Amino acid sequence: MFTGMLFIFAPLVVGYLIAISNQRVLDQINVTTARLVFVILALMGLSLAALDNLSENLQTILSYTATFFICLGLCNIAVLPLVDKFLPIESDTKQTHLPLSSMALESVKLIFVVGGGLAIGLLLPIDLSWVDTASEWILFILLFFIGIQLRNSGLTLRQILINKQGMCIAALVVGSSLIGGAIAATILGIDIYRGFAIASGFGWYSLAGILMGDAFGPIYGGVSFMIELLRELVALVLIPLLIRTRPCTAIGYAGATAMDFTLPVIQTTGGVRCVPVAIVSGFILSLLVPVLMLFFVSLAG
């Protein structure tokens, strides 16, 4: 049951065991990882082009995306205020304007990458039988580099354990997301473990889409990608609105992106007190994305 999970999970573990102190090497790994994400998302678009009954499958992707996005979002928002109530943090009341449109544009560019791959696959008479194999090998390389990034993120176990808000936020996001995934799976009539796997993306759209696409095909890959990308775009809007009164809720909704992409928004609008909480919660969720997703994929069979 767990053979496939271990096979895919191995490069992540190997990468996590590698400690790198040379910043230039780490910077190069970050650049390479970003480029691999673009490549594999383009391959996802090609995979969609190879599907039969494409229009029907696109409708499936949209309906699944909407159902999961609503269920996950409502469940997250329902429980995250508990952290604000019982473990409050004081945010900076002075808000600063951020170029949110330009940040959102960075996310939207990824949609065009997938769309570009789809267009190429539909318009050009090329053989697409190699796409799945290429995606798997690139996925292994990507997971290896992601493991290195997580290991060298600068967080120690002690720093994680002493940050109660960050740990509680991560725990509530995981628990409420799994509940939301179960609800969405029930509504759509799909296997509950697939629902759990989709729910375990926590905002990491690139990795979630890649893992689900590799496990269940381009339809599920597209669904996971769109769910988490929408989460990030909505987070960019919600964080400035909520962080003064519900900082933990704002940080929690950002999911795994709280430690990287949405961190500048959190820091600028919420103040420096929010930064350690965001980094810890985002790190824990980032670490759990491949672990939980691959675990539930193995159970789904």
Q: How far apart are CA 99 and CA 105, in angstroms?
A: 10
Q: pTM for the whole thing?
A: 0.83
Residue 155's pLDDT is: 67
- Using DSSP's 3-state secondary structure scheme, residue 92 falls into coil
Q: How far apart are CA 84 and CA 245, in angstroms?
A: 9
In this predicted structure, the answer to whether residue 83 has a pLDDT above a threshold of 70 is: yes
Question: Crossing angle, helix 274-300 and helix 247-254, to 10 degrees?
Answer: 40
Cβ contacts of 149 within 8 Å, gap of 6 or more: 15, 26, 29, 30, 33
**In the chain, which residue ranges form alpha helices assigned H by DSSP?**
3-16, 23-49, 54-79, 81-86, 100-123, 131-151, 157-161, 164-188, 192-199, 205-216, 218-242, 247-254, 263-270, 274-300
Residue 96's pLDDT is: 56
Averaged pLDDT for residues 187-214: 93
Which range marks the domain in which residue 248 is found? Answer: 3-300
Question: What is the tens place of the pLDDT at every residue in 30-71?
Answer: 889 888 888 988 888 888 887 777 788 899 999 999 999 999
Provide the sign of the torsion angle of the four alpha carbons 165, 272, 280, 246, taken in this order. positive
pLDDT band at 1 (very low <50, low <70, confident <90, very high): very low
Residue 104's pLDDT is: 67
pLDDT band at 140 (very low <50, low <70, confident <90, very high): confident
Q: Work out the percent of the chain whose per-residue pLDDT is above 70.
A: 89
State the average pLDDT for the chain. 87
Q: How far apart are CA 196 and CA 20, in angstroms?
A: 34
Q: How many domains does the chain have?
A: 1
pLDDT band at 203 (very low <50, low <70, confident <90, very high): very high
Distance, first Cα to last Cα, the chain: 7
Q: How far apart are CA 259 and CA 57, in angstroms?
A: 34
In this predicted structure, the answer to whether residue 117 has a pLDDT above a threshold of 70 is: yes
